[in-house]
Chain A
Amino acid sequence: MFSIQQASALKGGSPLGAGLVQASRSLHTSSQSLAPVPPLPEKGGKVRHGLIPEEFFQLLYPKTGVTGPYMLGTGLILYMLSKEIYVINHETIAALTIGAIAVYGIKKFGPDVAAFADKLNEEKVAQFQEVKDHAMSSLVQAIENEKKEQWRVDGRSMLFDAKRNNVAMMLETNYRERLHMVTNEVKRRLDYQIALQNLHRRMELEHMVNWVEKSVISSISPQQEKESIAKCITDLKALAKTTQAKATA
């Protein structure tokens, strides 16, 4: 059972760190088994010639320089061959064959396969990124909507004022209309009364005139009528003479 600090020390410290952490987790003895798994390193360690870690060359460099590890390797191989610790048999030929095939395959198809793996990773990351971007943009949109709603709420008092004004105007208009109607009605009634009075007066006048005419006509005696007619005739004759005289003059 490792504590969390020891585990992180394990992870970073040595080249085997990641593997040791993974190995010690497999027993599920402590509650650390519930924690998230530390990720595997993205790229493997640097190797030279595909097999030997770069750290080995760095280890020997201070003491034996650049050719040190190669001398060591050659010496070891020759030692094992000469002492027949390693015997050359059919497996050596088979190993050479499969080594050649492996090297050829890796050299020829390696970059393509690596590019394919990178493309798969890109697609995976792009998917996650898209989800994140979509979430972010929808949240930003939500914030904008909220701000707009707040602005709308601020303007609500103006809306109420306008509505109130509208209602007041409507009430006023209605009142004035009613007032107008009332005055019209009153005027009509008064006009009627006036017309009635006028009618009365005219009828009285006409009646009076008729009565006066009748009484005058009835008062004219026949004698007076003759005399007035004769007077009229003499007047007319005199007038005629004067106009004749004017005409000839």
Chain B
Amino acid sequence: MMVNSFSQFESPVFLTIPLILLALILPWAFYPSRLHDDSSNRTLTLQNWFIGRFAKQLLASSTPKVHLWATLLVSLMLYIISLNLLGMLPYTFTPTTQLSMNMGLAVPLWLATVLVGFRNQPTLSLAHLLPEGTPTLLVPLLIIIETISLLIRPFALGVRLTANLTAGHLLIQLIATASLAFMWIMPAIATLTSILLLLLTLLEIAVAMIQAYVFVLLLSLYLQENS
């Protein structure tokens, strides 16, 4: 029952079974195991091509130490993009709208990049806190600012993903409701609203893919900075 506009984002529970687990595991069904790499199935060929292109593009300009994270980053990207795109379908639940899940992805990974940096090259990692060529007077202030910017990164990562998807889903719901409400009263306005909804859905599909990519890209950048 639609109590308020945000009730679509409640974690779905059916007869005390948390269905969010099902929603989280669903993308696993769409990617067959590596044993089928040589398959001549069209879908599989396209998937493998996409994964290869993405991995190459993400890790092209990075050191071999960063390549150790390749599996994690590529699988993270695939996971988030499938969750987002599946959420575009009607009556589906998008787990990435939950701040808890996104923070659960962002904080450990960001912290891992920072700790890897501080463990392997502590001087260089600390040096990142001060950009080159700052005037001497500004140095203390700038260090504080850079530290704050470093510590805010996990929150930024998580909240960015959550906010984008939540806002998108919310807008779709509101405009669809408006379109439905106008349909019997002012069909012309309903048509305009439907066109708006069409454009918005296109945008949402793009946002779903872009946000996944941005998440992974930023993580890889933080890693490159620290490795």
A174 to chain B, nearest CB (A): 73
**A interface bracket (residues with beta carbon within 8 Å of B):** 20 to 34
Cβ-defined contact, B91 with A41, below 8 A: no
Contact pick for B90, options A39, A41, A98, CB 8 Å: A98
Contact pick for B46, options A39, A94, A113, A124, CB 8 Å: A113
Q: How far is the CA of A238 from the CA of B181 in the complex (A)?
A: 190
The contact string, 1 if C-beta is below 8 Å from chain B, for chain A 114-140, is 101110110011000000000000000
Cβ-defined contact, B49 with A120, below 8 A: yes
Q: How far is the CA of A97 from the CA of B176 in the complex (A)?
A: 9
**B interface bracket (residues with beta carbon within 8 Å of A):** 20 to 34
Chain B residue contacts of A118, Cβ below 8 A: 42
The verdict on A117 contacting B201 (CB below 8 Å), with A93-B194, A94-B172 known, is no
State which of B30-38, B58-66, B118-126, B142-150 sits at the interface with chain A: B30-38
Chain B residue contacts of A114, Cβ below 8 A: 42
Q: Is the C-beta of B100 less than 8 angstroms from some C-beta in chain A?
A: no
Cβ-defined contact, A97 with B198, below 8 A: yes
Q: Is the C-beta of A227 less than 8 angstroms from some C-beta in chain B?
A: no
From residue 101 to 118 of chain A, which have CB atoms closer than 8 A to chain B?
A: 101, 113-114, 116-118
Cβ-defined contact, B45 with A90, below 8 A: no
B177 to chain A, nearest CB (A): 4
Q: How far is the CA of A132 from the CA of B201 in the complex (A)?
A: 49
A248 to chain B, nearest CB (A): 146
Q: Is the C-beta of A89 less than 8 angstroms from some C-beta in chain B?
A: yes
Contact pick for B194, options A37, A97, A98, A101, CB 8 Å: A97
Cβ-defined contact, A40 with B41, below 8 A: yes
Chain B residue contacts of A100, Cβ below 8 A: 198
Chain B residue contacts of A113, Cβ below 8 A: 46
Q: Is the C-beta of B40 less than 8 angstroms from some C-beta in chain A?
A: yes
Cβ-defined contact, A117 with B197, below 8 A: no
Cβ-defined contact, B90 with A101, below 8 A: no
Q: Is the C-beta of A161 less than 8 angstroms from some C-beta in chain B?
A: no
Chain A residue contacts of B176, Cβ below 8 A: 90-94, 97
Q: How far is the CA of A139 from the CA of B171 in the complex (A)?
A: 67
Q: Interface on A for B, CB 8 Å cutoff? A: 22, 37, 39-44, 88-95, 97-98, 100-101, 113-114, 116-118, 120-121, 124-125
Q: Interface on B for A, CB 8 Å cutoff? A: 2, 32-33, 35-36, 38-46, 49, 88-91, 172-174, 176-177, 179-180, 194, 197-198, 201-202, 205
